[in-house]
Chain A
């Protein structure tokens, strides 16, 4: 997701910040159900969106090994975290804790956009 003017306003504005806090608090408390998205369990991710399709490939190349299928593995689960795209981008670019930063030499801007699209589609998959 592009870091749009809208998202900037959401961060800098007081109402937006409250919203962000709510989102984060909700994520912390609920973690939005199970992260399980195994194809035999939830069915295949059916999409005709080429961005999502390319995202599956980029995810397999860069993310899957630590967050297998968006579930917890070496790293934490992602499918149950309703994070906005810009936070995902921030995490990837800057890295935190055990997760290293991935600069554009490792994950291009285009791939990052695809990965975010794929993660959103995968997350929605669990909601049926």
Chain B
């Protein structure tokens, strides 16, 4: 490069090359050459350390652990007296089956079992209406159900019944929610069977393809296929198979093929009355609409986990989002990402091409999310602040479970593992509760006794206390997902009268 430093018009191409090279080095950061550094890519020696002082909050707030030793908790709700109840999932990625439970958290942190289930978890979330609890049973073995667990108020007796059964929750994602509207109507969701509508070897790794070899995504309305087919190794017995969208594994589908819609279906929100009658579709085209909440103004919002860079139809760089729900609308899955067509080059994996549309026509125009979260952050349960004493009124507090890299796609640093707040007017997402340290990540990776994987957040009846459900340690190591029972925590965040806070 002799002569590079000499001025002159003919040197300009060389001069411009340098910034390009440096940009590649410093901003792009050699993505392709660096190994994944996900939050779960670490080691863990139980027991889990819990230390609220390791969680940083805005000035004027304090956090405490109100229950520890939980196994795969996913949600919190309150009875009429305001006592917190948590659900333990009873199933976790990694194919670990325990007993799902509804537990009352006593003032001293001890746990009282209110109800328990079988091996059809995960129990993904809980809502309450008076002294009645509604639980979404994911349905990995027998299909999803929405359970009603009525208690006598004293908590000594409870009866459980299924309000709806047979929800298509056998796959990657399950029955989720629920949330109860002011009039008692129950809203819940069902996630998709697959990453992007095509069953593949990645679903065998999840564990369900062996259990349900014919299972696939079901659309809520009639759709016509574009005829794309995806070839993959057959994990069931070797060889290669071709699979199409909305088809069982190994069935290719054809261009113009009609796939009949039905309800219940995948990637959708539903509602029914308090007795399980009049089940109907609210909106569809989601991927994994995990968290549901009503704003103080009574509008329904949902968090949606974005596509992964995995499987036969990988999608790169898809964010998790927060949607405001419009009645009857289609939200884009499996052909749009947060309102953008999946065929856009930005969604091409670094070593591949952008996905192509699998639908010949689309039911609705693309929609724009209210907020966008980190790619693979797993935006899950959330709630809105409504009490001025807590502050941030009308903002959404969202639990970010954290990445599951490298299985879901490579990341350059842990993504998620914290609680954020969303200003719905601007779409700006700000950290609210995070682990201390020079790098973000779960405590099991960065040290200390702070958060592992926040999975749900809900205010108490008065809105003065925000409860955060921390799923606990879940490792992604050696090509396996390895959840750690008895590492879950229920946290409580309140404004501290001892400190002055500058909170709107």
Contact = CB atoms under 8 A, between A and B. Distances in A.
Interface of A: 11-14, 17-18, 20-21, 24, 27-28, 34, 36, 38-41, 43-44, 56-57, 60-61, 64-66, 68-69, 71-78, 81, 83, 86-88, 90-91, 94, 96-100, 102
Interface in B353-403: 371-377
Contact of B24 (A74, A86, A97): A97
List the 7 closest A-B pairs by CB distance, nearest first: A76-B29, A72-B413, A65-B319, A97-B28, A100-B346, A40-B56, A98-B31
B5 A68 contact: no
A79 to B, nearest CB: 12
Q: Which of A61, A94, A102 has the most CB of B within 10 A?
A: A61
B297 interface: no
23 contacts: A11-B16, A13-B7, A17-B4, A17-B5, A24-B22, A27-B22, A36-B440, A38-B418, A39-B430, A40-B56, A40-B433, A41-B436, A60-B426, A61-B427, A64-B372, A68-B377, A71-B413, A72-B439, A76-B28, A83-B27, A87-B27, A96-B27, A97-B350
B56 A38 contact: yes
A40 B421 CA distance: 12
Contact of A97 (B31, B375, B377): B31
Contacts of A91: 23, 27-28
B18 A20 contact: yes
Given A38-B434, A56-B426, A78 B27 contact: yes
Nearest to B351: A98
Given A36-B440, A39-B58, A74 B412 contact: yes
Contacts of B377: 68, 73
Contacts of A98: 28, 31-32, 316-317, 350
Given A73-B412, A76-B26, 5 more contacts: A11-B15, A34-B439, A41-B431, A74-B374, A100-B346
B12 A73 contact: no
B31 A60 contact: no
A56 B15 CA distance: 32
Interface string B299-321: 00000000000000000110100
Interface in B15-58: 15-16, 18-20, 22-32, 37, 56-58
Contact of B19 (A11, A74, A78, A102): A11
A81 B26 contact: yes
A39 B432 contact: yes
B374 A27 contact: no
A74 B22 CA distance: 20
Given A69-B431, A81-B26, A90-B20, A64 B374 contact: yes
Contact of A88 (B12, B27, B436): B27
A72 B412 contact: yes
Interface string B396-426: 0000000000000101110100100000001
A72 B350 CA distance: 18
B411 A74 contact: yes
A87 B19 CA distance: 7
A41 B437 CA distance: 8
B63 to A, nearest CB: 10
A101 B15 CA distance: 21
A12 B12 contact: yes
Nearest to B437: A36
Given A56-B426, A68-B415, A14 B19 contact: no
Given A13-B7, A17-B5, A76-B28, A65 B373 contact: yes
Nearest to A46: B502
A20 B19 contact: yes
B154 interface: no
Contact of B439 (A13, A36, A40, A66): A36
Contacts of A68: 373-374, 377, 415, 429, 440
Contacts of B7: 12-14
Nearest to B350: A98
A81 B22 CA distance: 11
B5 A60 contact: no
A96 B25 CA distance: 9
Contact of B427 (A36, A39, A57): A57
Contacts of A61: 372, 427
Given A38-B56, A56-B426, A96-B27, A71 B5 contact: no
Contacts of B19: 11, 20, 86-87, 90
A87 B17 CA distance: 12
Interface string B117-159: 0000000000000000000000000000000000000000000
B23 A90 contact: yes
B171 to A, nearest CB: 24
Contact of B375 (A36, A73, A100): A73
B327 interface: no
Contacts of A28: 25-26
Contacts of A88: 27
Contacts of B317: 65-66, 74, 98, 100
A14 B496 CA distance: 58
Query: Which of A18, A69, A75, A88 has the largest count of B CB atoms less than 10 A from its CB?
Result: A75
B345 interface: yes
Nearest to B348: A100
Given A40-B56, A91-B23, A73 B413 contact: yes
Contacts of A90: 19-20, 23
Interface string B169-191: 00000000000000000000000
